Structure 1
Amino acid sequence: MKGHAKDKGKGSAASLRPSNHFVPYPTELCRPILIVLARESLATQTLAKAVARQVDFPSKAITTKYPTEEGNSFKKSFDQALRHLRRENMVLQFGNTWSIGAEIRDKARRVSIPPFSLETNATREHAGWPMNVKQFYDEIATVSVDRLTSMLDSAQKVAANYKTLGELGTAVAVIENIRAEVERRVHQLGNDEYFRWPSTATFGGDGSLVMPDVPEVSPLKQLGYTVGRNGTCSASRQQVLIKAFLEVLPQVAGVEAWGEPNTGVRLKKIAHNLAAMTKMAKRRRSGDHRDAINMREADLTFLHDKFYVGRYDREWSWPTTNV
């Protein structure tokens, strides 16, 4: 059949594929998916067609099942590759739309992709029930959004291909619990959107405006967070920020607005505090604030990667320090 995936060179996955093999393996589609998403976010169906073009597979044959391929199709390999990338937190899903973070986008052609399990790679079949159901019930309130999505995907497959009524009942119960947990988080985070760190500078100003209701000493300062020429090292600042997010804060004016430990409210408050102070420093015309700016931006990146991605990135927008 014409139009099959071209060999990409000696030693490539395509060149090692048996000559009678037409459908790409999931491992062959992971990087093309990242390369396509590096250009733009796409819906699942559009992404599948774009990836097919990337590997020279006829887009009209995406869903075709080939008897010589044990009934496999391009769509099946594509879906499995996409699930693998999602499990490894290399792609992000919002409804039916897929995207990748900036840290992956900038190196989509060379980033290391974790290997598939031998069973998955050989059979191209999803695991029937790759989760500990008891552990699921114990941890559902704390797992990340991506993990919930993976669990839901697994449970829906079991429900559609159950072997016993007991297995079906368990799968349905898991699905309903995940839906209830998602609704709980949406409701909670919706009620938490009550405070935004105010801008303490005006366009064209020097960033020195002080608002009377802004406490001079923030909880971060009380915990020892310091930047600038006399600032502490990166590791020390990160430990302070971890403590500020996970533990009870010092009792200073306005601390109640920082929310409870280990919540979206707390992380959002810390992030907007750092972003606001960074903007002020960037707008000041007097003094050299480059060290303080660089330190705060590095700390924002640390918080973003450690606590935000996969847990809060579906619910609220990460603040920017652009001015």
Structure 2
Amino acid sequence: MMALLQHLLPVEREYPTVDSLRRQIGKIAERETASLQTSRNNAHLMRLKTTRSDLRFGIAMFIAAIDREFERRAHDLSYDGRFRWPETDAPGGDGSVGGVQFMDEGMLLRMEYRVGVRNGVSTPVRRQILRRLFEDALPPVFPPDYMRKWGDKGTVQRLRTLAYTIAPLAKNLKRKHDSRNDVAIGEYESDLQWLYDTYYVGRFHFDWPSTRLD
């Protein structure tokens, strides 16, 4: 059954049932964090695609249960000098080992946020991912210092980190002066504006990042 959540399937009759999702909820605590995050990403996409109200309800229960488990695991992280052994999978990145670019983009890549012609996802999917990055519990799959930088869901710290992660990505592409990056730059800037309009205006007060090359 979890194979259905690991891969988006083309026809709705192959989607899981509400009962099977309830059974899987009972097994969430036994699963690895990275595996849960993959299932949550795919469940969100599946929820966008289906028109069945019963399945949307079951998927929402499944996602909420994973969110609660992520919050529990995040609170269990130790900050007294110990750390969880790192996972070896690296979602995306530039091919370097432990590079700054991977850590800067780590959470975005983990949530499968991607821009550009070649590997990018559609605007509705990107906006859904950005909502989850701001509003949801994040998977505690990175070192504690990195996780602390993101703060709690729905906070000014979370929005600041998200905005100041995306803006430099656009700037880095602009510095390459390569027209093949134009679509990716435009999507970064469009998403940054969407975050500004959706979450920042009228709620928070800090300097909003710019993608201009001064």
Query: TM-score when scaled to structure 1?
Result: 0.33
Tell me which structure has the larger Cα radius of gyration: 1
> Which of the two has greater helix per residue?
2
Query: TM-score when scaled to structure 2?
Result: 0.49
